[in-house]
Structure 1
C-alpha cells in the first residue's frame, strides 16, 4: 500500500512538473527606481541550483528593509514565479527576495528548510552589495511557505540545517510573517506531510526538529500570524498552538483570525485588512517608518 501511495505521488508530481513548464505567470511589477535581478543563484546542492528573484529598492534612499517571500504548495508543488503580490511592501520601501526551494520530488525533509536558511544567509552575506539592511530582514510565507518562514526565522543561530551554507555567525530576522502555516508537522494529518518526511515519518525527534512549534525560544523574533478559522487544509489549531507557545515564551506576536476564512481564500476586504495589519505590525517594530 505504501509503495502504491508513493507511486501515485510520483505520477502526480510528473504531471505537475509538465504543467509548470507550460504555465504562464504574471510578471512582477514594481515602482520606478526599483531594479530586478532574476534567478540569482543563492545555493548549489549537487546538480540543483537554488534561485531567487530580487526586486531592489532605489539605492539613493540607503539600505532598505527586505522581505523574503516563500511560496506554499505542501512541499510538493508551487513556484516562485506564481508569487506577484508585493505592492504593499514596495509602497513602503521594502526590497523583496522571492525564493525557490527544493520540493520533495528533488529531496525530502529537511531539504526545503536547508534551502530557506541558505537564502537567508546569502542575503546577510551580500547585504552591502544589494543595498539591504541585514538588521531589517522579514521572512514571510503561506501554508508550507509559512512553515518554512517560521523555521528559517525561529532557528536563529541554531546551525543544524546550515551545512550547505556555513560562514555567518549571526543569523537573524527582524520579524516573521506566518500565513496559515504548518507549525507541527506531526500533527498535520496530510499525505503531503508523510511524503515530505519520507523514511523519517515515524521519527518523532526528527519531526520535532522540523516543526516550528519546537523552535520557539525566549529571544525569538516577533511573529505575525494570520489564519482562517474554516481552513480545510492546515487546521486553524496549528496557529492557535503557535500563538500559545509564543505567549508562553514571552515572544511579541499578533494573531489575526479571519472568520470563515478557508486556506488562503479570504474575501478581498479581508485581504486588505490583513495586508494593512502586517504593515502596521512591521511599522510598530520599527522596520520601516
Structure 2
C-alpha cells in the first residue's frame, strides 16, 4: 500500500512537468522537476519495476507510476525537440556558420548525460570592486581565462528589484570566463528605497567604471554585453535600449519583464506572487497613480530600429513573469527589424537556468555562447 501511495505522489509531482504551478512552493518544486528530470525518472522507474514483483495493488500503482514516468520524461523529450530546431533557427537569423564551435563538447545544444554533471562549475575566482562609492555598490569581477583585452558581460541579478545580489548563479560566469569573456556581476540599488531608473543608472555607472579601469582589467571597451535575469532582465533591457553607450553591443534577458504596463494589467496569481505590489514598490505606486513610470520602465516602449541585438530566453510555463512579456517584445523587435532571437522553452518555469546542466540550462547556455560570439566578433 505504501508503494501505491508513493506512486500516486510521484504522479502528482509529474504534473508540474507539463502544467503551471498553482502556488509559490510548488513553483520551487517545479524547477526541480523540470530541470532535474533524470532524478525523478530513475526513482519512478525503480518503483514501477519493483511493483511488478508485488501482486497486491499491482495495477493500482502501475498506472499512475507509468504515467508519472512518461511525464517526467517530457522535459527531456521536448528539450531534444527544441535542440533539433535550434541550429537552423539561429542560423536563419544570424547567418550560416553562426552555430559552429571548435570545442566538440559544445557542439550539441542538449545531451542527456550532461544532466548528470551536477549544477555546474563555479571555480573561477573573482575580485570584488566598489564601482559606486556614493551608494556603496560593488561588483564581482571574473577575468577571462584567455589572455589579452577581452569582451565584458555585465550581469544584472534578479530578485523582484528588492532583493538578490551579485553572487547569484555564478556557474554561467565561470562558463563565460572559460569561453574568453570577462564577467562583471553587479549589485544595484534596491526597491522600495530606490526606484526606477536607479538600477539603470547603476548599470551605466558600472560600465563607466569598467571603461576607466579597462587597462588593468583587460576589458575590450568596444565590446560590452548586458545580461539580466528576471527583474535584472528588465533592467538590462531598459539600459541597453536607453543608455546609448558606444561600446554596448547587445543584451540578453532571461525571463525578464518587458512590458510593465501590460504586466500590471495582467498580474501573476496572488498564490504565487503579489506582482502588483512588487511593481508598485519599484515604480512608486500603481499604474493609475503613476502611469508615466510604468511606460518609462517598459523596454518594449524604449526599443527602436537602432537598438542593439537582443537575445530573449523564457519558459512558457513561467508563473512569476509571464512568457507573454518576451513574446510581445519579440514581436516588436520583429516589426522594427532589430536582430534578435527568442529561445522558447515549452516545459520551463521561472528560474529554469538554476542548473546550467539541466535541459533549460544547456539550451540557454548553447544559445548565449553563439549569440555572444556573433555580437562581439
RMSD of the TM alignment (CA)?
2.2
What are the equivalent positions in structure 2 for 1:83-122 lying under 5 Å apart?
83-85=169-171, 86-122=173-209
Q: Unpaired segments of 5 or more residues in structure 1?
A: 1-25, 158-169
Q: Over alpha carbons, which structure has the higher Rg?
A: 2
Q: What residue number does 1:279 align with? A: 369
How many angstroms does 1:172 deviate by?
A: 4.2
How many angstroms does 1:265 deviate by?
A: 2.5
* In 2: Cα distance, 1:200 partner to 1:107 partner: 16
* In 2: Cα distance, 1:271 partner to 1:234 partner: 18
Structure with higher helix content? 2
Q: Is the 8 A contact 1:156 1:172 kept in 2?
A: no
Structure with higher strand content? 1
Q: Is the 8 A contact 1:178 1:226 kept in 2?
A: yes
Q: What residue number does 1:249 align with? A: 336
* In 2: Cα distance, 1:81 partner to 1:106 partner: 21
Q: Is the 8 A contact 2:158 2:164 kept in 1?
A: yes
> Is 2:300 aligned against 1:213?
yes
Spell out, residue by residue over 1:158-194, the C-alpha distance to the aligned partner (whole angstroms, 9 max, x if none): xxxxxxxxxxxx4441111110101122222312111
What is the TM-score with the length of structure 2 in the denominator?
Answer: 0.60
Q: What residue number does 1:36 align with? A: 126
Q: What residue number does 2:154 align with? A: 68
Q: Is the 8 A contact 1:226 1:257 kept in 2?
A: yes
How many angstroms does 1:127 deviate by?
A: 2.2
Structure with higher RCO (Cα < 8 A, 6+ apart): 2
Matched residue count: 242
Distance 1:37 1:260, change over 3 A: same
Q: What residue number does 1:262 align with? A: 349
How many angstroms does 1:27 deviate by?
A: 10
SS in structure 2 of the partner of residue 80 of structure 1: coil
* In 2: Cα distance, 1:41 partner to 1:280 partner: 31
Q: Unpaired segments of 5 or more residues in structure 2?
A: 1-119, 268-274
Q: What residue number does 1:20 align with? A: none
* In 1: Cα distance, 2:298 partner to 2:133 partner: 24
